[in-house]
Amino acid sequence: MIITPQIYITKMNWISTLCLIHLAFLGIANAASIQVAYEDELKSFILKEAVYTAGNGTISIEPASVGNSKRGVYDAYFKDFSFYSYDSFHKLQKLQTLLGKAESLDATGDRLFLYNYIAFNAQDKMVELSYTADFKDEVCDFLAFNNLNDTSLLAASSRNSELSLFYKNFPIEVCSKATVLKRDSTGCDDRHAPNTGDCQNLVNDLENNHRGDVYQEPRSYCIGKCCISWSLTYPLNGDFLSGKAGWCINQCVRGGLSCEIFGVAYANTSLDICLSNRANGCT
pLDDT in tens, 234-245: 888 888 898 899
Between CA 146 and CA 28 the distance in angstroms is 33
Q: What is the predicted pLDDT for the residue at 171?
A: 87
Please say if the pLDDT value at position 119 is more than 50. yes
Cα(179)–Cα(191) distance, rounded to whole angstroms?
Answer: 8
Can you give the pLDDT at residue 37? 86
Mean pLDDT across the chain, nearest whole number?
82
Q: Are 149 and 130 in contact (CB under 8 A)?
A: no
pLDDT above 60 (res 24)? no
Q: What pLDDT score does 11 carry?
A: 55
pLDDT of residue 177: 46
pLDDT of 40-60, one tens digit each?
999 999 998 888 888 999 999
pTM above threshold 0.75: no
Could you say which DSSP state residue 5 is in?
A: H
The domain ranges of the chain are 1-176, 180-276
* Whole-number pLDDT of residue 215: 78
* pLDDT for the residue numbered 175: 82
Across the range 59-85, mean pLDDT stands at 73
CA-closest candidate to residue 119, choices 231, 199, 194, 198 = 194
pLDDT for 210 beyond 70: yes
246 compared with 2, residue with greater pLDDT: 246
Q: Which range has the worst mean pLDDT, 68-77, 79-88, 124-133, 151-160?
A: 68-77
> Which residues have a Cβ under 8 Å from the Cβ of 55 and sit 6 or more positions away?
85, 87, 88, 89, 90, 91
Q: Where are the alpha helices (DSSP H) in the chain?
A: 5-46, 89-104, 108-119, 135-145, 152-156, 161-168, 196-209, 238-251
pLDDT at 194 over 50: yes
Query: Where does the pLDDT of residue 64 fall: very low under 50, low under 70, confident under 90, or very high at 90 and above?
Result: low
Averaged pLDDT, 222-230: 94
Single-letter code of the amino acid located at 117 = Y
Residue 146's Cα: distance from chain center in Å?
Answer: 18
Rounded to whole angstroms, the Cα distance separating 11 from 18 reads 11
* Residue with more model confidence, 219 or 93: 93
- Rounded distance between C-alpha atoms, residue 165 and residue 70, angstroms: 28
